[in-house]
Structure 1
Amino acid sequence: MFPLLAFLAFTPLLLVRADAARILIYSATRDFRHDSIPTAIDALKAKGSSISVSFDNTEDPTRFTDDVLKQYDAILFLDNTGEVLDDQGKAAFQRYLGLGGNFVGVHAASDCLRNTTWYGNEVGAFFDYHPALQNATINVLDNAHPSTNMLPAQWHVQEEIYNFKSDPRVIGATVVLSADETSYSDPGPRNYNQGTPHPTAWFQERGAGVQGSGTAGRSFYTSLGHLNETWKDDLFLAHVLGGITWTLQSNTTLAFNASANVGNPASSSSSSSVSSAATGTASSTSSSRGATLIPPGLMQAPVVIFSMLFIGLFHILP
């Protein structure tokens, strides 16, 4: 009886894909280029399986078309600077966001497409300037968010501390990390009001770059990530990966919602297989920002396991 029960227990797990969500990393630059970009891409790809994500990367702006973008559950802008998309690429990207696509921005992602208002809203705020690279203290404002719940209350980093041209809270963002301005030197001058406390990382439940009646996914941005060494630090990577997994839980893409308009199509079919066996409905997860992060399809696995065990015992036991 034991071999049969073991088979029944593990069968549903075979239906869960390791790469349930798919993310496109876009790292094109037109102005300053960070030499940490290759290190960052390698680090994200190496950690992808730990959060059930498959990462692709490109610097080709011609890939920003409806057909290409619709295959992804999120687009991650990594250290982009300058005008990295033409008008056609911007239009395709905005349509993608309006169909429920998610956005993640890291470090210099706030320093590109500077004259595109909706992009500034989607990332949360445009970069203004930063003082010299130096040691600084980052305060955790929300220790329940998946991007911060692993961090110490005062996080000591070596970093470029960004200043911004606006306060991301004005367009609805929630700031989760703040720079302690007494911990580093910044001679200025500051020409814009970025609000207080000093915003360093934030999230948007509904990305503000979506206009009209579009279905807005989530947006997450962190201004940290300048150095190669930073991308080799497990604590920093946990911060970024936590932001990514929270963003994917928008339930607006195929990684979690079989009726979504964009996302990895393969994840939808596999998640539906597990979910249908368990409940007869499509897979979904809680949209609460403090929710436990569970890979797509895995939430239903215990239900399937116990259901199949019960059936097996019913047929085997006298």
Structure 2
Amino acid sequence: MLPNTSICRLVTLSLLAFAPSAFATNAKVLIYSATEDFRHDSIPTAIQALQSKGPSFDIQFETTEDKAQFTDQYLARYDALLFLDNTGEVLDDLGKAALQKYLDLGGNFIGIHAASDCLRNTTFYGHEVGAFFDYHPALQNALQTVDVIDSCHPSTSMLPAQWHVQDEMYNFKSDPRTIGATIILSANESSYIDTGTRLNQGTPHPTAWFQERGAGAESNGTAGRSFYTSLGHLNETWQDELFLAHVFGGITWTLQSNTTLAFNTSAEVGNPSVSVDPTSNSSSTTGTSTSSSSAVISVPPIDVLPLKFMVLSIIAATFFPWLSSFYLGRFVLTAYF
């Protein structure tokens, strides 16, 4: 019998096989990296890493640090907003109102590292990110241990049960579970020194989490998904393939909320109009932005049906050996005939 982690990885693969094909549409994500207080020098490295890997996941990333871009019309173009290492009051009242409306219309949210340390007096933002940053102990030379609490989530299915990292171990002002978040990573407090006074952030120590329905949306709104990871402090972290797999697992899971135009033609926000020409190295969109940089992608059409049967064959062979020959035959017929 397979261990639970292996089972979760097989289940994750099977779900991805039947999820909307990554090659069938082009999701559009806005990276917002404005800062008013401390600024991480890893922000450019993070943006470069996200944009360079975006095409592999059929995601088009655009970037801005201009708070004036937070208008209803501008935000409505995106399937998700990714807040990256923001600190301080990075939006004015008009921008906050536009962000609230975007979330109410089904927009998705991704927060990374210091994204929990901005807009500290804006309640709906705190609910959407999950919890506000409180403090962290000094960055330590030795590796710290992060425990995987939920190995079935796409952002954790590739991680070892105890993940050894060098990063800041954030503490939070509240427990994300109180607003409905599910914790997937936890800082192992025995692996580092922290002499500070911790607030009621709950147990196990929250380090990364997700919300199926982002709590920042108003009760009469259409809530999209929310994902947050507190890791990502160092430049070296953004050059680590395992960390990037964790981040992109969270991003792709968030985009599959089915509340934006990338996957739902009746949605009210998102990217409805990216056309991909397999013979070209560019993609065309309706509307342009003069204040954003973008990773332009071109992905040839791929038939994912063989992949589905291959995944099913693996699962069938593991749990139902008598079915394996059936699925394997279907896979061979589909792939080669």
TM-score, normalised to structure 1, is: 0.79
Q: Which residue identity does 1:156 align to in structure 2? A: H
Could you tell me how far 1:76 is from its partner in structure 2? 0.2
Structure 1 residue 37 and structure 2 residue 43: aligned?
Answer: yes
- Once residues 102 and 300 of structure 2 are traced to their aligned partners in structure 1, the CA distance between those partners, rounded to angstroms, is 24
Uncovered stretches (5+) of structure 1, i.e. residues with no partner: 1-15, 271-295, 304-318
Matched ranges for 1:1-318 at <5 A: 20-134=26-140, 135-190=143-198, 192-267=199-274, 302=305
Q: Which residue identity does 2:206 align to in structure 1? A: P
The DSSP-based 3-state class of the residue aligned with 1:182 is helix
Q: Which residue identity does 2:82 align to in structure 1? A: L
Could you tell me how far 1:266 is from its partner in structure 2? 1.2
1:37-57 deviation line (CA, Å, top 9, x unaligned): 000000000000111100000
Could you tell me how far 1:166 is from its partner in structure 2? 0.2
- Once residues 141 and 115 of structure 1 are traced to their aligned partners in structure 2, the CA distance between those partners, rounded to angstroms, is 30
Quick one: structure 1 residues 180 and 61, their matched pair in 2 at CA, closer, same or farther if it must change by over 3 Å? same
- Once residues 146 and 297 of structure 1 are traced to their aligned partners in structure 2, the CA distance between those partners, rounded to angstroms, is 24
- 2:330 is aligned to none
RMSD (Å) for aligned C-alpha atoms: 2.1
- Once residues 212 and 137 of structure 1 are traced to their aligned partners in structure 2, the CA distance between those partners, rounded to angstroms, is 37
Could you tell me how far 1:300 is from its partner in structure 2? 8.2
Aligned length: 262
1:49-78 deviation line (CA, Å, top 9, x unaligned): 111100000000000001100000000000
1:64-121 deviation line (CA, Å, top 9, x unaligned): 0011000000000000000000000000011000000000000000000000000000
2:25–2:262 Cα contact (<8 Å) kept: no
The DSSP-based 3-state class of the residue aligned with 2:273 is helix
- Once residues 302 and 220 of structure 2 are traced to their aligned partners in structure 1, the CA distance between those partners, rounded to angstroms, is 31
2:186–2:205 Cα contact (<8 Å) kept: yes
- Aligned-pair identity in percent equals 72
TM-score, normalised to structure 2, is: 0.75
1:257-306 deviation line (CA, Å, top 9, x unaligned): 11110001115x88xxxxxxxxxxxxxxxxxxxxxxxxx99898649xxx
- Once residues 262 and 300 of structure 1 are traced to their aligned partners in structure 2, the CA distance between those partners, rounded to angstroms, is 28
Q: Which residue identity does 1:178 align to in structure 2? A: S
1:18–1:53 Cα contact (<8 Å) kept: no
Quick one: structure 1 residues 302 and 17, their matched pair in 2 at CA, closer, same or farther if it must change by over 3 Å? closer
Uncovered stretches (5+) of structure 2, i.e. residues with no partner: 1-21, 277-298, 307-337
The DSSP-based 3-state class of the residue aligned with 2:166 is strand
